[in-house]
Chain A
Amino acid sequence: MTNEPQTILGGIDPEIMGRLATRREAIRHGMSLSTAAAAGLAMGSIPVALAALSREAFAQTPNEILDVLRFAFILENLENEFYKAVLGTSDVAAQNTAFAPVRGQIPASARETFLLIQKHEQQHVNFLRAAIQSSGGTAVTITANDFDFTGGNGGTNPGPFVRATTELEFLLLATQAFEDTGVRAYKGQIPLLLNNSGNAAADMVLESACRIETVEARHASKIRRIRRQRNPGIVALRHSGYVLGGGLTAAGAGNISNPPPEVIAALTAIYSGEENTVQVVFDGTAERSIDAANLPNTDVIGNADRKRAAAQIAFDAPLSKDAVINIIKGFIKDDAARGLP
């Protein structure tokens, strides 16, 4: 990877550019767009809009936005390389070998799901790399060698998540934990991307981060549903894909025998705060804190306990960057020079 800032247009598939030009022509000539064509335009135009994200274009704080993008880039690489190792498509043979025992246990249906999720994570990696470069930043080169999916920080001994390489239920739990962490990480960062500067490219970054976030929520929902179908008795795993409650119980890890204390600690941290029912808004004059567990007109839900549970599932919760880094740093081999925690 080059260290020189490069325009995103240089990296765009010529076919997309061609299609974009065709769409432009179509619009100029007043043609109406089919759904598929409109979708094509949306696809092509995001990189184009991002290309406007040059350093000069920023009047405000580019570093804050770049920091968010770089952080998200590390997270998406972690997820992407994890799924590639699980699926046996990693560029690093040792990663594929490590997951071989569990790979044979993955049902064909779940494998199809994993393949789609991995495709999305790769798209997110590509998208974020382009966004960082268009913003005048440098996207560091990250490979599967940078990760230790046992959570052992690259040490000699395997980390506490090593059972994900040999036990299907453990693997599915780890997958859910990655996805829910991803949702919470984006949720913590997205407000930092808000700008009211009228900068269209910065808006595109914000909107794209929101659109990645809901894709991660879809992934988390599906993995939770798969786990619930395999473990009907774990009611913390909802068929609705929600996170019910917070802390360890929200992980729904009751099917894992003798989980290592480090895993319990990690799961507790990943779902810490999900039980929160108090939401904060700004009404234009003052900040208000509203406890959703005490709202009126909710009797159809049931008693106070059911209302509290509903108030918990109805709102996902953010995690700060520091909290996320504490959760994931065991999976990443330290390299401060490249910004890897």
Chain B
Amino acid sequence: MAARDGARQDTMIISNLGELMCPATRRNFLRTLLAGGTAILLPSVLTGCGDDNGVEPRQTTGLSFDLRTDGGIFRIVDLLELLEAFYYTEVVRSSNFSVFFSPEEQELFIDLRDAEIMHREFVREVLGAMKVPDVTMGSINTDRLSVLLSSRDNIIKTARNFEHTGVSGLNGASKFLSDRRNLQVTRNFATVEGRHAAALLDIPLARGGIVGNTDFAGDLVVDANGLDVKVEANDARGIFFRVASIGLLKAGTLAEPPVTNPPNPDKGAPTPSFPPPIF
């Protein structure tokens, strides 16, 4: 870090944008500006983040979500899609992929990877400057990732957990969106996640094993009114609970609590949830 430390920080030199992701630098940066000082951005500032020197990319910390706008709600989708696309990419390229899965199941996971990459890039394109930091750079708990890739059973369960987080979260968030076009887009990918969720419940945990003919939409995931799973972001068993259960993020990546502002009451109020199980 190139910030000059001192009692009065009137000049601060920043050589790398990644430094601004570090809370201490950011604090100093803001203090410097507020004190009427000067911040110097070296030309190298636009050349990339702190992983240039082979150093581990810096961890994101304290990531939080303000749900008062459609963009704020899309940021949660962004976080989920980042994690899903990252995880499925790792699954497909892992050395055991063809050992754990039949050719038919490999097709399923490749489709899954491709769709989630599309969702990720689409949501990040929509959000532009509002997108969340790429938590797959520097904020992945690699020990946990190894576990989640270590067996067929773990991969299928993790995928089921991700897809059911997507379905239940998008179903619960629908009422808080303010624009019909944005609602339309979320529904366009919500049913794709629903198709995934059903397909993943329709393959057996043990290779070559059997699976129930009704598991794809059984009573664990469809209630007595014929309605699919649904959670609120902040439910005890809601989106962030599920993200924490999967455990791919390093401790401290998300703020506690992650939601700084709930949706405005004039958009709607939380409804009773029907959370999916943790598979």
Q: Does residue A116 face the partner (Cβ distance < 8 Å to B)?
A: yes
Contact yes or no, A315 B183, CB < 8 A: no
The stretch among B40-48, B50-58, B102-110, B251-259 that forms the contact with chain A is B102-110
Taking the closest CB of chain A, its distance from the CB of B112, in whole angstroms, is: 6
Q: Does residue A3 face the partner (Cβ distance < 8 Å to B)?
A: no
A207 touching B175 in the complex, CB below 8 Å, given contacts A239-B111, A301-B114, A306-B114: yes
Taking the closest CB of chain A, its distance from the CB of B110, in whole angstroms, is: 8
Interface range for B: 35 or more
**Most A C-beta atoms less than 10 A away, residue of B212, B216, B277:** B216
Contact yes or no, A127 B191, CB < 8 A: no
| Chain B neighbourhood of A288, CB < 8 A | 126
Which of A35, A203, A296 is in CB contact (< 8 Å) with B271?
A: A203
Interface of B, secondary structure class, is helix
The stretch among A40-48, A90-98, A169-177 that forms the contact with chain B is A40-48
A-B contact count (CB 8 A): 280
A45 touching B213 in the complex, CB below 8 Å, given contacts A212-B226, A301-B114: no
In the assembled complex, the Cα of A280 lies from the Cα of B112 at a distance in Å of: 23
Interface range for A: 35 or more
In the assembled complex, the Cα of A246 lies from the Cα of B196 at a distance in Å of: 19
Interface of A, secondary structure class, is helix
| Chain A neighbourhood of B272, CB < 8 A | 38, 41-42, 45-46
Contact yes or no, B271 A315, CB < 8 A: no
Taking the closest CB of chain B, its distance from the CB of A115, in whole angstroms, is: 8
In the assembled complex, the Cα of A298 lies from the Cα of B237 at a distance in Å of: 32
The stretch among A106-114, A147-155, A320-328 that forms the contact with chain B is A106-114
The stretch among B11-19, B29-37, B260-268 that forms the contact with chain A is B260-268
Q: Does residue B199 face the partner (Cβ distance < 8 Å to A)?
A: yes
Contact yes or no, A211 B217, CB < 8 A: no
| Chain A neighbourhood of B183, CB < 8 A | 190-191, 194
A281-B181, A283-B126, A317-B188 known, 5 other contacts, Cβ within 8 Å: A42-B230, A120-B226, A212-B228, A280-B184, A290-B122
Show the binding face of B for A, using Cβ within 8 Å.
Answer: 69-71, 89, 104-105, 107-108, 111-122, 125-126, 128, 167, 170-172, 174-175, 177-185, 187-199, 202, 212-214, 216-218, 221-230, 237, 265-269, 271-275, 277
Q: List 24 A-B contacts (CB under 8 A).
A: A38-B274, A38-B275, A109-B213, A113-B213, A116-B213, A191-B184, A198-B266, A210-B174, A211-B274, A213-B191, A214-B228, A222-B199, A240-B107, A240-B111, A279-B122, A281-B126, A283-B71, A283-B126, A283-B128, A284-B69, A298-B117, A313-B115, A316-B187, A318-B188
